[in-house]
Amino acid sequence: GGEGVAWGKRLVDIASIFVKTNDKLLNILEKDSEILYQYNSISGDFETKFAYEAKATLLALGKAMIVVPKSSTVVPGQVDAEPIAIMDNHINMVKFAGQSNEFKKVASYLKLIVDKAPAKVQKNWLTESGIKASK
């Protein structure tokens, strides 16, 4: 539920004059959205990493803002979640020019999740098999 959603909606409105736009993702990310509440109820089933930018993004008329601040990154009540600061602005936070420190940071988090995946999948299959057997 970031404050940048309002700015994003304004940009979508302006862009819609020129091209077909879609604000569905912005609606999901809005503060207090129903989807975020629904996700919260199942969040214990996932290991979640929330990234946020540490530098302000330059906007129109010379203004700048943090689009997704740390305070908006983690859904309140989220289980097994971790915020990750990316030392860039919102536009560039995932545009890595090479194997920078930020690239290595994101890659290391992804590797940890991937490394844990086989055991998690196996556990889920065993749980499902147990449920089917008990019916």
Residue 36's pLDDT is what? 72
Residue 65's pLDDT is what? 86
pTM: 0.65
Work out the average pLDDT over 10-16: 53
Residue 26's pLDDT is what? 58
| Three-class secondary structure of residue 57 per DSSP | strand
Phi, psi of 23 (to 5 degrees): -105, 20
Domain locations in the chain?
A: 1-42
What are 59-112's pLDDT values in tens digits? 878 889 888 888 877 766 777 788 899 999 988 888 888 899 999 999 999 999
